[in-house]
Copies of this chain bind each other. A is one copy, B any other.
Amino acid sequence: MITIQELSKQCGVSVSTVSKALNGYSDISDKTRELVIKTANEMGYFPNANARALKLKKTFNIGVLFTTHTTMGLRNDYFAHVLSAFKEESAKKGYDITFIENYIGRRKMTYLEHCQFRHFDGVCIVCADYEDQEVVSLASSDFPVVTIDYAFNKTNSIISDNYGGMKQLTNYIIQQGHTKIAYIHGVKTLVTKNRIEGYLSAMADNKVKVPKEYVIEGLYRNPVLTEELAAQLLAMPNRPTCIIAPDDQSAVGVINAIRKQGLQVVKDVSVAGYDGLESQQMIGVRLTTVKQERDNIGKEASRRLVEMIENPQETSPEKIFMKQTLLIGNSVKKLHHI
């Protein structure tokens, strides 16, 4: 790997001059600058990021906390998209992405210690257990931090407006004349709670009563369980006219339950989903669903973080809500008795 000294020898100028020429200082003659740059290209010179980081105290490297336990993390489609967009946007701004771990080899290291070790310029907490003490310390550290779908006092946060999205969806279904609307929701995370509130709020706004049995807990991305739960709903004397699934994938389960009951999808029972995945737009019906702006979330998170890194004084912690948009398909029937 060729260094700045070899370049300087080759060009017959001092190391300082080479450095300045390379970094575009103005007090270097055009002749020298051109010579240096030309030689650098010829010799395939590239600076050593570690040396530069040591001197500048800036690594152009962003730490990303991305827990991969169980069903979370990269293996989760939503977060994978967010990360992907975050990575692309950050690269555009000149920053690399490194994952934060809490052990390095056999040595235990907290998330915060890992960040100090690597001297990241900033940190993005994409997906983590926000109750975890280590995560809390990281979020309240001196690092510029942006969090996704969760707000700490001190950090910027990008939050997907699940409350608003669900409310829109429910309102739409009510407008189609439905009042018996059941909601099979996922495990009760913060995201889920917000969605339930959005649902209840839309119902209340429209003075529609919600029988307790209409709101039941299932699992995300689990069509099998969703099918079972939907079957229970359909077996009720007071059968709902519309069932909202935890997400688009699970909506397949609802559809199967309806068909197995000898009923027709849409005609007899309407269905709605959540996520707006292109790949799920199928199943014979076009699912009415809510589209999450996953790519925008990642992008916006990166923009915010770079802003904090480069203009630390001007940026104060903020919560940014990302709108979700209603995608109207043909899976919710318009009822006539209104």
Contact = CB atoms under 8 A, between A and B. Distances in A.
Contact of A282 (B106, B109, B253): B253
A158 interface: no
A118 B49 contact: yes
Contacts of A107: 94
A46 B258 CA distance: 59
B256 A49 contact: no
Interface string A38-72: 00000010111111011000011100000010000
Interface stretch (A192-200, A219-227, A314-322, A328-336): A219-227
A49 B94 contact: no
B48 A54 contact: yes
A249 B99 contact: no
Given A84-B68, A223-B283, A105 B113 contact: no
A13 to B, nearest CB: 23
A104 interface: yes
Given A105-B94, A223-B282, A73 B84 contact: yes
Nearest to A109: B46
A34 interface: no
A99 B49 CA distance: 15
Contacts of A283: 223, 252, 256
A146 to B, nearest CB: 18
A51 B109 CA distance: 18
Contacts of A97: 98-99
A235 interface: no
Interface stretch (A75-83, A182-190, A204-212, A237-245): A75-83
Contacts of A68: 84, 87-88
A116 interface: yes
Contact of A249 (B46, B81, B279): B279
Given A96-B99, A119-B50, A282-B223, A84 B74 contact: yes
A227 B88 CA distance: 34
24 contacts: A1-B116, A46-B113, A48-B117, A49-B50, A49-B117, A49-B119, A50-B118, A50-B119, A68-B88, A74-B83, A74-B84, A75-B80, A80-B80, A91-B101, A91-B104, A94-B105, A96-B101, A96-B104, A97-B98, A97-B99, A98-B98, A223-B279, A256-B282, A256-B283
